[in-house]
Amino acid sequence: MKKPACVDVIIPTYNGLPYLKETVDSVLLQTYKNFRLLIIDDGSTDGGATEKYVKNLTDPRVSYYHKKNGGQATARNYGFKISSSPYVCFLDSDDLWSSDKLARQVEFLEKNRDFGMVYGYHTLFNEKGEEIGRIHHNLEGHLYEHLLDGNKVSGSASMVMIRRSVVDEVGLFREDFLIGEDWEMWLRVARKYQIGCIHDYIARLRALPEGMQKNYLKMARGLDYMLPIMLKEFKPNFIGRARLRGACLYDASIYHFLGGNQKMARRDFIKVLFYNPSKIKRRRDLVFVYIRILFGNNILRFLRRYASPGYRKREREYFLAQQKKGGF
């Protein structure tokens, strides 16, 4: 009987305790048993707590490696370079897998030899463990053109299983990107290979207030930085350039706005209107956001004041209350 293929699971971590423990447990409880777990400590400053925790684990499949701090992409690449199995997975140190994640993805890649990698659905949960969202991108096959329109495959490297031979061919994660290094890598994969999907929820991704999701200005700068590089690297056609520009500039505009940089938010939003206005979402809850990005907060107050009697009444009551307090 053929021995099941081995999978290398790479977890980068930086001061990841206590979430790391739950993440590791979700790997050790996999129904698919033939894996190696490589925990890459990216220069944690926790007094050796991460190293002590990992080295106290008795499972022989777990290994600990320490490197100088360089960011998540450098840790993933470090792990890949010391791995050797035909299949590789990446898992962020605060995310969780369903118990059959590895089994289902190995089965898919074993049956579909012309597919380079496979992903699946995932849920989002907060620091209280409450589910706050569900992501179910479900396309598969030749997805290069689709991916030019944004990271619509996995949204996270935690979702993917990829063949070692594919990474050897297309290259590792870019280490200079502040954001989107997984998206850029999936595009390289999609240029040469089909991408598969497990049509089920196979992971839970943790969305923490102190995480990258809240560092809006850093994310905006990262998108502004990566756009010209990706245009030069992939050299898409006219429609592809519009898709790529729209994907980067729209998100950058929103992140600049949320981070308080009105000038940069307006600049990127105007570029979206020029290059790819179809990226502007036709949602009522976003209309006032778009108005504020283009014209500032004063115009929004002006429109609300003259469009809503209730707003004018609340505004008068607010000013009267402030006057009584001596605030104006």
C-alpha span between 283 and 108 (Å, rounded): 37
* Alpha-helical segments (H) within 179-237: 181-192, 216-234
How do the residues of the chain divide into helix, strand and coil, expressed in percent and rounded to 5?
A: 50, 20, 30
Quick one: pLDDT at residue 321?
56
Is residue 27's pLDDT more than 50? yes
- Establish whether the linkage from the previous residue to 277 is cis, with ω within 30° of 0: no
So what's the pLDDT on residue 131?
Answer: 86
Look at residue 101 in the predicted model and tell me its pLDDT: 98
Closest C-alpha to 226, from 280, 184, 272: 184
Report the pLDDT value the prediction gives residue 212, as an integer from 0 to 100. Answer: 47
Is a pLDDT exceeding 90 seen at residue 46?
A: yes
Closest CA to 9 of 59, 48, 45, 46: 59
Quickly count: other Cβ atoms within 10 Å of residue 33's Cβ.
11
- Residue 137 is predicted with a pLDDT of 85
Q: Round the average pLDDT of the chain to a whole number and report it.
A: 88
| Per-residue pLDDT band at 309 (split at 50, 70, 90) | low
pLDDT value of residue 91: 96
Mean pLDDT confidence for 177-186: 93
- Indicate if the pLDDT at residue 85 is higher than 60: yes
> Is the pLDDT score of 95 beyond 70?
yes
* Ranges 40-49, 155-164, 250-259, 282-291: which has the least confidence: 282-291
Binned at pLDDT 50, 70 and 90, residue 327 comes out as very low
pLDDT band at 323 (very low <50, low <70, confident <90, very high): very low
Name the DSSP letter for residue 141: B
Higher pLDDT, 133 or 322: 133
- Residue 129's identity, in one-letter code, is G
Would you state the pLDDT for residue 294?
86
pLDDT for residue 186: 96
pLDDT reported for residue 146: 93
pLDDT of 22 above 80: yes
Q: What is the mean pLDDT of residues 33-50?
A: 97
Confidence at residue 23, expressed as pLDDT on a 0 to 100 scale: 97
Mean pLDDT of 231-259: 93
Structure tokens at 149: 């329109």
Per-residue pLDDT tens over the stretch 217-227: 999 999 999 99
Give 113's pLDDT tier (boundaries 50, 70, 90). Answer: very high
Domain ranges (residues) in the chain: 7-209, 215-295
Taking alpha carbons only, the member of 53, 119, 115, 109 closest to residue 85 is: 109
The pTM of this model reads 0.86
Across the range 227-233, mean pLDDT stands at: 97
What's the confidence (pLDDT) of residue 152? 81
Which pLDDT band holds residue 316 (cuts at 50, 70, 90)?
Answer: low
pLDDT exceeds 50 at position 326: no
282 against 20, higher pLDDT: 20
pLDDT tens for residues 122-156? 998 888 888 888 888 888 999 999 999 998 876 68
Hey, what CATH topology would domain 7-209 get?
Spore Coat Polysaccharide Biosynthesis Protein SpsA; Chain A (3.90.550)
